[in-house]
């Protein structure tokens, strides 16, 4: 079935005269990108969102009123910051604040009242709040500090020298032992409120994010102490290529503790030259790539408490902060421990070498609870895979040592994990344990780390391998969304590659609430954009180059995808300039609307001559030129930029004509030296063929797929298109065929080889041939997980409507096929939970739909005719909240309002 182009939004509820207040209220009040009661919020001009109750007591909204006050006790009648008054609107998400100007540190409490589809006035809901962080550099009294004269690294504080060109390690060099910094201070009264504002230097040269913590309960009247441990992290560590770009980077700390006393007084404690520091703490070495060395014999009990003797500690070097890069509150969730994995198996491949299998490739660190022996060092190594003899396979880590050590001062049982590193691993190897020890599974626990965004999407089906694939997609996202969208979490890279992010963005927004994650990273992309309009290959940049088609296009595709799936037009407002500058670079390079720019190509295409694929770069560059022109045209229309929209519409038509003429003959066949699936997929998927060429191009694409035995021959850029293009052109069975292949290259092939995450290559490992090229062989690389979008939006059938973004209106359009007997997707949208699912029965089909309050949906039910479709025992067209629209390609199409629906139909065996 082809996805309908016509969007129909049914107005299911009539407005009537206002009636007395009803016993319902709006809930789930959030500010900005769905933050609940944040402290240290970043935006003094926020937006507000809320949801109608899910119990059906209000199906739609016709008006709202927002009140905001500086104190909760003033609401709702004495709102001193803002009273919107009654606003006739169904808008319940991203409503902009319209009150008095807000400033740093300000606390705002707000409430919402709504009117439903019958004009009933709701009760006032529970209030929500937000508290702004420090918004300007002038708010900071603190100075950047670091330890003054450092001691020479002690034993165990060495790291390998890394040759970044070859990726090889050799010898050792002086390593960074984290700094311990402290200060004591007095509080002269009882503490009413205390906020700790803190950051460390980051690789960004224009903006640095700060965090705010409520530490009220941690302070007391009288003596207090504050301590911090400063690691090298992203900023000062030897990230791939970055040391050559930023050779003088050193870790720096910035802290400002603001205390409000019960009597009204205040006290501010800041980082300055009064602090003391040492690098003689137990963490002897730390590195994101290489791991951490911990010597428990150097622990300093009470070092962060009052009364500790720091007389032998060094002073600090203090630097002004106010004049540097912009200091702004963090815009998205910080990295958090989100889950723990138990060991499922313990082996001993060689004497004294114990391997713990967590059963899942993950990202984070191992937490140990182990016996240790005085003076002995336990070495902790990790790996994603095992060699055939049961030992760790680490060649694919390249120069990343990924090794932790723990040196024991006494014989005892300890619980420990590293702090200033993270690893990508499934297996944990322990050596150096007491000779008589007998390891048991609970000695090692996997602590999963990623940015702390909540789960929003769920997918399930009747097929075990398809469910495993979706699980692998989730784990790939969790493993690579650590503050930025990285390509991989294990080797000496872990960089914000734009190409991987570009293709994975749509499904990432379904899986988790990563709205704020993308808004923050896109801000970084804007800040790294070159004056020419080109986008760096990685963000933050590390000197890897810029401008590759399919990579830098994230500047256009990601803002559009975020807008479609959230409905937040701010992402277009903020990024429109970046989008047009990126297009401008294409425009200047184009000759007759054909772009010849080089780049990474259809990266890692199977059976290609090299890593950059067989699809010519001028085809890829021109295709993305056209695609981004079309998206920017659509963005201009949303933003009311009519002249831009018209110009980009004409430009797209010119690109399409030039693309068709340059690369295709009259039969729709490619005229390039080699035909590739990806070239056809881009031409069709980006709508770059003149109408008379499409049918022929589809035929030639199908011929290539058939010649490949029904397999894909696509890399990073072509793979996200293959299922959706085949489906849209009416060949849904072929899309299922490619997806459900179990031999190389295919998604299920890697699962049969043991994959529990997405792999960088289709054959990163095979049981018969072993491991692939270790130089480029990540076992946690989410790019090929882009197929999840088609699984959710067509297999299960839950798809957004770009004309009514953020699931204000959406499609229930399941495409049953393959060996499946049922599938279902659920999503926590800004309005509430939406769901689409289907079941195959002996008599026909059942389609399930859940439409949250204040939204509508268009539902496609497989059916021979409308008369055969029932909804809960009655003809569907007569059911409450349902309106029949038309028959389309063996589907009855309905407009529905808020509610839960169960459509049943009878249909012949085959659905097209």
Catalytic residue among 131, 528, 760, 826: 760
Q: Which helix (H) or strand (E) holds 805?
A: none
The crossing angle, in degrees rounded to 10, of helices 464-480 and 498-511 is: 120
| 493 included as an active-site residue | yes
Residue 98: helix, strand or coil by DSSP? coil
CA dist., res. 350 & res. 390, Å (int): 9
CA dihedral 689, 694, 696, 702 (to 10 degrees): 110
β-pair partners for 112:
66
Q: Cβ contacts of residue 485 below 8 Å, gap of 6+? A: 496, 497, 500, 501, 504, 508, 517, 521
Catalytic residue among 493, 729, 826, 839: 493
Annotate 91-126 with b (16+ C-beta within 10 A) or e (fewer). ebbbbebebeebeebbbbbbbbbbbbbbbbbbebbe
CA dist., res. 506 & res. 631, Å (int): 14
Q: Cα dist. 392→123, 384, 431, 761 in Å?
A: 61, 8, 12, 20
The count of C-alpha atoms lying within 13 angstroms of the C-alpha of 54, restricted to the half-sphere facing its C-beta, is: 12
Q: Cα dist. 288→97, 105, 180, 285, 595 in Å?
A: 41, 33, 18, 11, 39
Max CA pair span of the chain: 87
**Within 10 A of 42 (CB to CB), how many other CB atoms are there?**
24
Q: Which of 346, 366, 357 is nearest to 437 (CA)?
A: 346
Q: Which of 528, 524, 495, 496 is nearest to 238 (CA)?
A: 495
| 760 included as an active-site residue | yes
Tell whether the torsion through CA atoms of 644, 647, 653 and 656 is positive or negative.
negative
CA dist., res. 649 & res. 633, Å (int): 6
**Within 10 A of 581 (CB to CB), how many other CB atoms are there?**
18
**What residues are annotated to the active site?**
493, 760
């Amino acid at each position: 079935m082809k996805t309908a182009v016509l969007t129909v939004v049914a107005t299911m509820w009539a407005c009537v005269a206002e009636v007395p207040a009803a016993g319902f209220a709006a809930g789930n009040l959030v500010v900005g990108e769905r933050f609940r009661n944040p402290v240290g919020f970043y935006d003094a001009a926020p937006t507000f969102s809320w949801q109608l109750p899910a119990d059906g007591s209000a199906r739609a909204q016709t008006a709202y009123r927002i009140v905001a006050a500086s104190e909760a006790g003033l609401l709702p009648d004495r709102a001193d910051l803002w009273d919107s008054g009654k606003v006739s609107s169904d808008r319940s998400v991203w409503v902009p604040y319209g009150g008095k100007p807000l400033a740093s540190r300000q606390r705002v409490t707000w409430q919402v009242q709504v009117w439903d589809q019958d004009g009933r006035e709701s009760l006032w809901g529970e209030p929500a709040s937000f508290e702004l962080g420090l918004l300007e550099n002038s708010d900071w009294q603190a100075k950047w500090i670091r330890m003054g004269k450092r001691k020479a690294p002690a034993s165990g504080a060495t790291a390998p020298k890394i040759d970044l060109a070859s990726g090889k390690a050799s010898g050792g060099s002086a390593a960074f032992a984290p700094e311990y910094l402290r200060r004591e201070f007095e509080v002269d009264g009882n503490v009413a409120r205390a906020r700790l504002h803190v950051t460390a230097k980051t690789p960004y040269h224009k903006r640095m994010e700060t965090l705010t913590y409520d530490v009220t309960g941690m302070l007391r009247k009288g003596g207090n102490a504050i301590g911090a441990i400063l690691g090298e992290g992203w900023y000062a560590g030897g990230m791939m290529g970055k040391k050559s770009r930023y050779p003088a980077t050193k870790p720096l700390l910035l802290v400002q503790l603001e205390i409000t006393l019960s009597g009204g007084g205040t006290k501010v404690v800041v980082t300055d030259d009064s602090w003391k520091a040492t690098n003689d703490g137990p963490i002897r070495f730390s590195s994101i790539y290489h791991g951490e060395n911990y010597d428990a014999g150097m622990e300093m009990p009470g070092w962060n408490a009052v009364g500790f003797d720091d007389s032998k500690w060094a002073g600090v070097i203090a630097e002004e902060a106010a004049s540097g890069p912009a200091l702004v509150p963090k815009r998205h969730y910080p990295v958090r421990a989100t889950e723990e994995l138990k060991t499922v198996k313990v082996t001993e491949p060689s004497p004294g070498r114990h391997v713990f299998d967590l059963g899942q490739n993950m990202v984070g660190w191992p937490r140990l609870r182990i016996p240790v022996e005085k003076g002995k060092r336990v070495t902790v190594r990790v790996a994603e895979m095992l060699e055939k003899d049961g030992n760790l396979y680490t060649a694919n880590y390249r120069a990343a040592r990924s090794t932790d050590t723990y040196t024991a001062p006494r014989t005892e049982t300890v619980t420990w994990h590293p702090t200033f590193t993270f690893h990508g691993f499934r297996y944990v190897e322990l050596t150096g344990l007491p000779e008589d020890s007998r390891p048991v599974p609970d000695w090692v626990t996997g602590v999963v780390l990623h940015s702390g965004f909540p789960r929003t999407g769920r997918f399930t089906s009747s097929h075990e391998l398809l469910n495993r694939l979706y699980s692998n997609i989730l784990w790939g996202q969790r493993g690579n969304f650590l503050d930025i969208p990285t390509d991989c979490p294990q080797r000496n890279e872990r960089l914000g590659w734009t190409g991987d992010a570009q293709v994975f963005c749509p499904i990432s927004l379904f899986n988790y609430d990563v709205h704020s994650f993308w808004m923050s990273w896109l801000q970084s992309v804007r800040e790294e954009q070159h004056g020419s309009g080109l986008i760096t290959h990685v963000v933050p940049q590390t000197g890897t180059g810029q401008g590759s088609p399919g990579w830098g296009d994230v500047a256009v595709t990601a803002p559009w995808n975020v807008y479609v799936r959230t409905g937040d037009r701010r992402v277009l407002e903020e990024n429109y300039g970046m989008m047009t500058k990126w297009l401008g670079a294409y425009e200047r390079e184009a000759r007759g609307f054909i772009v010849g720019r080089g780049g990474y190509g259809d990266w890692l295409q199977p059976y290609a001559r090299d890593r950059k694929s067989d699809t010519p770069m001028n085809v890829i560059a021109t295709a993305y030129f056209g695609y981004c022109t079309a998206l920017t045209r659509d963005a201009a229309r949303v933003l009311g930029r009519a002249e831009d929209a018209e110009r980009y519409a004409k430009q797209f038509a010119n690109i399409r004509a030039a693309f068709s003429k340059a690369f295709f003959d009259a039969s729709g066949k490619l005229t390039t030296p080699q035909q590739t699936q990806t070239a056809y997929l881009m031409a069709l998927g980006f709508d770059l063929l003149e109408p008379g060429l499409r049918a022929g191009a589809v035929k030639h694409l199908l011929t290539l797929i058939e010649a490949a035995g029904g397999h894909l021959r696509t890399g990073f850029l072509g793979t996200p298109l293959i299922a959706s293009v085949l489906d849209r052109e009416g060949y849904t069975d072929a899309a299922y065929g490619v997806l459900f292949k179990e031999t190389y290259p295919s998604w299920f092939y890697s699962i049969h080889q043991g994959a529990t995450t997405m792999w960088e290559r289709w054959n990163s490992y095979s049981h018969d041939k072993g491991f692939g090229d270790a130089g480029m062989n990540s076992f946690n690389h989410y790019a090929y997980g882009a197929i999840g979008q088609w699984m959710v939006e067509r297999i299960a059938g839950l798809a957004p409507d770009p004309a009514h973004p953020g699931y204000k209106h959406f499609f229930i359009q399941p495409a049953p096929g393959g060996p499946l007997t049922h599938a279902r997707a659920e999503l926590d949208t800004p309005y509430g939970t939406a769901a689409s699912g289907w079941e195959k029965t002996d008599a026909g089909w059942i389609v399930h739909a859940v439409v949250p309050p204040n939204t509508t949906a268009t539902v496609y039910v497989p059916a021979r005719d409308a008369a055969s479709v029932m909804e809960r025992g009655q003809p569907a067209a007569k059911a409450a909240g349902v309106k029949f629209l038309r028959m389309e390609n063996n589907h009855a199409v309905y407009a529905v309002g808020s509610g839960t629906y169960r459509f049943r139909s009878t249909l012949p065996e085959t659905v097209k």
